[in-house]
Structure 1
């Protein structure tokens, strides 16, 4: 396997082999560069036009970080149409693994053979074969995660790649001259993401990074990629505390009275955070299209939010608050504030009932500093849930291309996340984007936790929760268990056991639960606390499931995560399931167990010690 760089300069010839419009790899621009120097792990390439590329490589744990820097030392400006974050060639693989993702169906594993992808070389090796995928917009996890794993089943070798790109991105698989593959990826190029970048004389541009790892199994290579991430987890949040979010209790209608009622029910039950979700602002016109002004609804919270935040703390919990800070809804007084909104074709960029703040605008940053950061400080909130419920799309007006303008706006959003952390260092930030649309590593490095999905009451929760092990740390993956008075014991086990695949978050009709139901929930909370070190620091060694359906799952799922000699096993049964084969317990000593998996849609979990 050879690391190198792909680049396309405007005005140069595109690659041949029937590839123009499919890929910008193999262009005249890339062919003109030749290696002139190795600097440690880095490689330096020059062409004869005073352009330089530095391929940066850095070993991080059991993975390699890669990025590409373009330097223009010529007297003329250069416009890039494509610059790869990574490019590797000479890859032997017969299967490709990707993670598909839609709203409330995040991370579904898709495995295809090279033949199914139609990536066999042409008979005379002159035709380029291309499989190109990615995302366009400001929701980087949409249709696919920025992830790929290439498997050589004969050698039992996997190559895993994860892109750190929170806006439009792409990954390409190419085959032309032999049976090996070239894999390249980075910012979505001019063809795919409407991106060009002008680099003036003496200027330079560096791509977002990618992380690459190798391993003997898919889960081994995924674990290396995930452990290469460096999340800014708050010191407050390092004990894997349990969250209660009231959204599925009040359904977007929180008030002082109903939050107080929730507090009184949860007091002394071991909950670390109580999060007030959407609906605390506006004039009673609905939470969905009232964001932007961030004025407290005094009918719901007389005197503001400090009183209820103080009450939450008096009950032994850290108060949290929801914002969708980048968006402006139709009911906001700023909806027509064209000067400070993103524009496209000269008019405000509108998606459904939302417009978007220009996060590069200093006035906007000052406004959000007052409305978000100041409110959090003055009221004593220690937890911030940042939601994001639609995408900018291909880009917006600005000084550069649509795609580059988009990239800069999203970078500015990330800058505001850093500003929040700088001003409130102990804050616990949750990354949410209608669930999992921003479960991308550069976003995950800015936060303590993330909402894994909006599939809060669906039967697919354990499937989606297990999927997340391949791309984010389970200690950051917030899994909801929504509880109802009508839940059977089996349904409670099914819901609570799902949270053992990440961070436990409770919601639902908690004040209507019986004492017996609460007892099952509290037993699950105790089990979660016992398993928390395995969830946080372990390695997922087994994930088996027998269903392709998410709306009507069948069969069962078993996930095993190991830390030293201790293991956490989580079993879920779906429709038409059979009694589980518990062979994994035969050489182990059970330390704790929770639940009962005696029927369809039930679940059980074990903590056990492996015999030497």
Structure 2
């Protein structure tokens, strides 16, 4: 079939799109500047529409099984027009599609900056329809001409609580996708798929909403991220001798999601981003640039002391806080954040009685919480509080004062999870409640910092006003919109996003929050593989990394823990009041080093000279590359005392922190040889 094909893109990436009277527009290929022109005929056979849509009344046509492709509604779409323009150095393209038979109008948006493509779609209708599936991203023709089952590999990341960012690589065959030979018999291929899915209200509690497809012959990588703070899905399958990828937010099959659209209503898909590169570091650089481009502007990178981890552990009192305040100020902290428990008068009921968020009287005698916050200010720091706004404990008066419609429900029953109800921020009463809480706390304490946590997974959603999955999706969006409103209302307030550690480390949250918590890991020796791997998922200047220290630790232990956060955002923690004067000097020197380096956190790119860290690796290294220098953090947790680290551009090397010696550095041609004492770390500067 001869069909029109047009190209669109920039100097780094080109899109090849086919369209015509007899077929929906199809994205045939993504190419880099030096690539040969794609084989249009070969690509066309395996190509899918630029967006996949399945309606409840028409479903799929040409596919049987669990795959989310070949939606009949998508096959009926035709290109009406397109618009392209450049805005703020971003190339933009909008495809306007329509199907007059079922009334669908679809606008597919592409925004291209460098090698990173950002995409989403808007769907409206002139007659009632029910959406069962809508893709955020659809690519096909991947691995065309390859023995793709063995020559393509998928990188995917498990994200266990307190062990986040566990990337691994496997071929498509190792993951269960094979060329079964049925294309020779006029079949599309096999019927199975490689599926990665997150269900419930924690977007990253099991896996990251990301993937990387690598051509094992050339090393070229195609990476994607789904930008949503709730349920998501992506899958890889075979189609006419090539591989397709489709990614989305919630779906009917996996998440009990459907969306009824009435005439005049519009549904906006969850955004997704694609990046191409020749290695992991290029992918990380492309996504980091993209995340910096789409997020709210950031003002500063304060050093935060938080009293929770290995400290008060949700049991604050005036007596316990005052020594920590003195120590934090002496060490150089700029924010002192009082974590969970400040509202708990029962000394242990902080979990299922939350919701009013009024300071405890029993915990803070002699002036109450206000007196403690006043001490924070007098010590030269700014105050912060922990808050979990989306939940209300079953024993809280708020659970009785708000209407049932302000909470998640299913089949008329208010949902309960681990002694808590989930607020539905679509409801005016729920939003008015959380607004009133924050406004009262700001009026009373003039906070500089809020840590917004979320420690339950409420499941698939709420069926109030639609499907269960649609209720969750709409609440997710309402929550981030509310956070943005808070930032507009209180422009000097820094807001940290947290969800049981790193259970919502997703692109949608990253576009809003100034800081995101990475983990709840309490063992400082297990922190390096978490922080070092994090830049693939979050920009370093947003990554809140715990550095937990106390008086029981050796000098090397203190430096080891501090170096874990010095290339990111410092969250100082632990019983810092037990540090000796000599130990305080070591910690203070580390924080002074951060003061000197933090202005470059938001400008550099990340590199991993030893590769992405494994959970049990003896040696771990992560660096930041700027135009002038390399900063490299190296940890030795075991193994040989010496290692050679490939660093082709290194010339001179010096230890930035700690400076007491004991290491041995030798710059070799194209490498750095380093010897460290057992269980130690160094932060290096290389010219």
TM-score, normalised via structure 1 length = 0.93
Cross-structure match for 1:156: 219
Cα distance in 2 for partners of 1:520, 1:253 equals 28
2:285 paired residue among 223, 239, 248: 223
Cross-structure match for 1:457: 523
Cα distance in 1 for partners of 2:464, 2:629 equals 54
Cα distance in 2 for partners of 1:157, 1:554 equals 26
* Contact preservation (8 Å) 2:67, 2:192: no
* Contact preservation (8 Å) 1:306, 1:379: yes
Deviations 1:497-541 (A, max 9, x none): 111241111111111111221122122112223332443311112
2:372 paired residue among 308, 320, 323: 308
* Contact preservation (8 Å) 1:128, 1:176: no
Cα distance in 1 for partners of 2:123, 2:297 equals 33
Unmatched 5+ stretches in structure 2:
1-14, 17-26, 28-49, 85-92, 664-675
The change in CA–CA distance for 1:346 and 1:371 in structure 2 (over 3 A counts) is same
The change in CA–CA distance for 1:587 and 1:406 in structure 2 (over 3 A counts) is closer
2:196 paired residue among 127, 133, 151: 133
SS in 2 for 1:263: helix
Cα distance in 2 for partners of 1:188, 1:174 equals 19
* Contact preservation (8 Å) 1:160, 1:222: no
Cα distance in 2 for partners of 1:467, 1:65 equals 23
Cross-structure match for 2:116: 63
Cross-structure match for 1:373: 439
Cross-structure match for 2:557: 491
Q: Structure 1 residues 377-386 or 415-424, which shifts more? A: 415-424
Cross-structure match for 1:109: 167
Q: CA deviation at 1:394?
A: 0.8
The change in CA–CA distance for 1:56 and 1:547 in structure 2 (over 3 A counts) is closer
Cα distance in 1 for partners of 2:572, 2:483 equals 25
Q: Per chain length, whose mean CA-contact separation is higher, i.e. which structure has more relative contact order (CA < 8 Å, sep 6+)?
A: 1
SS in 1 for 2:121: strand
1:357 paired residue among 423, 428, 447: 423
Cross-structure match for 2:8: none
SS in 2 for 1:29: helix
Deviations 1:24-77 (A, max 9, x none): 31122222223333222222222341322221111235422101222213xx30
Q: CA deviation at 1:545?
A: 5.5
* Contact preservation (8 Å) 2:655, 2:682: no
1:565 paired residue among 618, 628, 639: 628
Q: CA deviation at 1:205?
A: 1.5
Structure 2 residue 77 is matched with structure 1 residue 33: yes
* Contact preservation (8 Å) 1:121, 1:176: no
Cross-structure match for 1:209: 271
Q: Structure 1 residues 122-131 or 537-546, which shifts more? A: 537-546
Q: Structure 1 residues 354-363 or 427-436, which shifts more? A: 354-363
- Please show how residues 292-371 of structure 1 align to structure 2 within 5 Å: 292-302=355-365, 303-336=367-400, 339=404, 340-371=406-437
* Contact preservation (8 Å) 1:479, 1:501: no
* Contact preservation (8 Å) 1:147, 1:163: yes
1:244 paired residue among 274, 284, 305: 305
SS in 1 for 2:538: coil
Unmatched 5+ stretches in structure 1:
none
Cα distance in 1 for partners of 2:377, 2:317 equals 16
Cross-structure match for 1:88: 139
* Contact preservation (8 Å) 1:570, 1:603: yes
Cα distance in 2 for partners of 1:34, 1:525 equals 59
1:544 paired residue among 603, 610, 635: 610
1:176 paired residue among 228, 239, 242: 239
Cross-structure match for 1:391: 457
Cross-structure match for 2:106: 53
Q: CA deviation at 1:577?
A: 4.1
Q: CA deviation at 1:324?
A: 0.6
* Contact preservation (8 Å) 1:320, 1:384: yes
Cα distance in 2 for partners of 1:328, 1:38 equals 47
Cα distance in 1 for partners of 2:320, 2:648 equals 45
Structure 2 residue 129 is matched with structure 1 residue 78: yes
SS in 2 for 1:191: helix
* Contact preservation (8 Å) 1:543, 1:557: no
Structure 2 residue 179 is matched with structure 1 residue 121: yes
TM-score, normalised via structure 2 length = 0.83
Structure 2 residue 652 is matched with structure 1 residue 606: no
Cα distance in 2 for partners of 1:567, 1:587 equals 8
SS in 2 for 1:410: helix
* Contact preservation (8 Å) 1:285, 1:331: no
Q: CA deviation at 1:360?
A: 1.6
Cα-Cα RMSD: 2.1
Q: CA deviation at 1:304?
A: 3.9
* Contact preservation (8 Å) 2:229, 2:504: yes
* Contact preservation (8 Å) 1:474, 1:503: yes
Cross-structure match for 1:167: 230
Q: CA deviation at 1:591?
A: 4.8
* Contact preservation (8 Å) 1:134, 1:188: no
Deviations 1:314-354 (A, max 9, x none): 21111110001111124422345562322122222111122
Q: CA deviation at 1:300?
A: 1.7
* Contact preservation (8 Å) 1:466, 1:543: no
Structure 2 residue 203 is matched with structure 1 residue 145: no
Q: Structure 1 residues 593-602 or 196-205, which shifts more? A: 593-602
The change in CA–CA distance for 1:265 and 1:190 in structure 2 (over 3 A counts) is same
* Contact preservation (8 Å) 1:96, 1:113: yes
SS in 2 for 1:532: helix
* Contact preservation (8 Å) 1:547, 1:555: no
* Contact preservation (8 Å) 2:79, 2:98: yes
Structure 2 residue 350 is matched with structure 1 residue 274: no
